[in-house]
Structures are given as structure tokens and as C-alpha cells.
Copies of this chain bind each other. A is one copy, B any other.
Amino acid sequence: MGKALIFNRMLAIGVGLIGGSICLAAKKKGLVSHVLGYSRKLETAHEALKLGIVDECIAGPGDANLRNVDAVVLSIPVRQYKQVLTQFLPVLPPNCLIFDAGSTKSDVAVMLNELEPQFPGLKSRFVLAHPIAGGESHGPSAAVANLFEGRNCVLCPLEQTSVVGLKKVEAFWTGIGAKLSTMNAMDHDEMFGAVSHLPHLLAFSYVASVLAHPKGADFMKEGGAGYRDFTRIAASSPEMWADIFQNNSAALLNMLGAFEANIASLRQAIESDDRPALERILGQAADYRSQWKQN
């Protein structure tokens, strides 16, 4: 066991792009000695095993090998957390640390509040995390060990989160190359509603609206580099993003309202040939965006 070791036996629930990449990175960096993998679909867990992402597959909560697990990482749609935790928590060691990689955080805090009476202490040993990484590819075959290198990971500790648990999860994410930031779950959801969820909603909606045009599919074949980049995120998983839109609906719809108001101003400026208004709105955006640099 190397000195980098953080967890002995880590259970990965979800072994797709995110979960699989977490496992590959943790193994490569020597942060874990043994990785167990679970997926709703057994063939996905088997694929992860074949790809060397996990060392062992778990068929379900009945598996005896779960007894010595000291960490669990959830990389599944947030809507599935509650059901999965309800199944697995009764058989996991009571001091086992749990962390996640979901894109929304307030809803996870609410879910933990709901489960806390049934599983006392759950909130102290659950660390909310959101690595800012991903892509349009899905499944274990898309996983890579360097997915989190140099990428941000936002931690949203609750008041009850154990300091020791938080330090371990911080060391874990840092160990696989992520840069950490910390904020509360509400701020997180407002920020990512604005800079991630809304752009995804707009990109999906733009492609769907052009597709609905009789010649829309033919039009899009002629799209250039602008079209390509603007719509790249519209190839993302519909199931995952439907979850995110539903789970962060308050912050998302609030930002969407501001966008709709801005679009109405632009429409008005174009319809009334109001060149100063048009240049003012476009100029603000261009000034900001041309100076923006990725963190």
C-alpha cells in the first residue's frame, strides 16, 4: 500500500464516464487498494471489470463483499440516489464515507434530510461534490484516468458534515488532479443553473426547434464551426439532463426568465430597427466574452 492510499475498499455505484474515470484515476494514483463496482445493469459492471476500471463486480446489496467497504462514490443520476442508498445503507458499514459527483446539490441535501431519521449520522458521513468535467460520451468505455486533471471540483459541505470525512474527500479529489472550491448547495445550484444547465437547455431546444422545420435537418447539415460548437452540448444524455433540469428547476427557470426577457429585447430592437439597443446588447456580451478565460 502506497503512502497516497486514502481508501482500502471503495465501492463505485455507477461506472460510466464519470464513475469509471474516478475509479481509473484513483487506481492510477494509488488512492485505493481495491475497487468494487455496481451498476443497475449487470453488463455495464462487467464491461467496467473487463476494462480494468473495477477489480470486482457487486450484483446488489446482498453481496457479502460489501461488509468491509470504507468508501462509496455515487456517479449515477441524482434522482436514483434515494432508492440506491435505501437499498445499500443497511448493509454498508456504519462509518463508511459516501460522496457523489452529481451536477445538482440542493436536491441531494433535501434527500439526505429525508433519509437521516432512518439512517442516523448519514449527513455527517456524506460529502456533496460536483466535479466540473464530462462530455457527450457515455458508459465505461468513455472513462479515462485524466478526466479530472486540472478541472474544478466543487464541494458543498453541510453543517453536519464530518471534518475528517471532508478532509478525506478533499484529498481524494485533489489526488486525482482536481482543483477544489467550496460553496453552499444553494449558491452552487444558482451558479451552475446559470453557466451549465441553462446553456444545455438552450442548445437542446435550439436543435429541436430547427429539426421541427420542414427543411431543418437539411439546413443543419450546412452548419459551420459556430453551429458545431454552439450545439455540441445538445448531444449530451437526455436522461441525465432531464434529471438536472427537474432537480434544479427553481434556479434554472429563474435564469431562463432573464434570458427570455433579453431575447424579447433583442426581438424588439430588430423589429423596430433600433440599432443602438441592438449594438448595446451585443456589445456587452462580446466585451465580456472576448475577455473571458477558462478557469
Contact = CB atoms under 8 A, between A and B. Distances in A.
A203 B223 CA distance: 15
Contact of A233 (B226, B242, B281): B226
Number of copies: 2
Contacts of A241: 282
Contacts of A245: 266, 270, 278
Contact of A227 (B199, B209, B220, B228): B199
Query: How many interface residues does chain A have, given as a range?
Result: 35 or more
Contact of A235 (B202, B261, B286): B286
A232 interface: yes
A159 interface: no
B288 A242 contact: no
A267 interface: yes
Interface stretch (A94-102, A105-113, A190-198): A190-198
B282 A206 contact: no
A132 interface: yes
A233 B152 CA distance: 24
Nearest to A154: B222
Interface stretch (A83-91, A160-168, A211-219): A211-219
A86 to B, nearest CB: 21
Interface stretch (A16-24, A60-68, A119-127, A248-256): A248-256
Nearest to A204: B285
A209 B237 CA distance: 26
A253 B270 contact: yes
19 contacts: A181-B222, A191-B222, A195-B224, A204-B281, A206-B259, A207-B284, A209-B262, A209-B263, A210-B258, A211-B284, A224-B294, A229-B229, A230-B230, A234-B289, A236-B286, A242-B279, A246-B278, A249-B270, A256-B263
A282 B246 contact: no
A232 B234 contact: no
Q: Which of A181, A201, A202, A222 has the most chain B CB atoms closer than 10 A to its own CB? A: A222
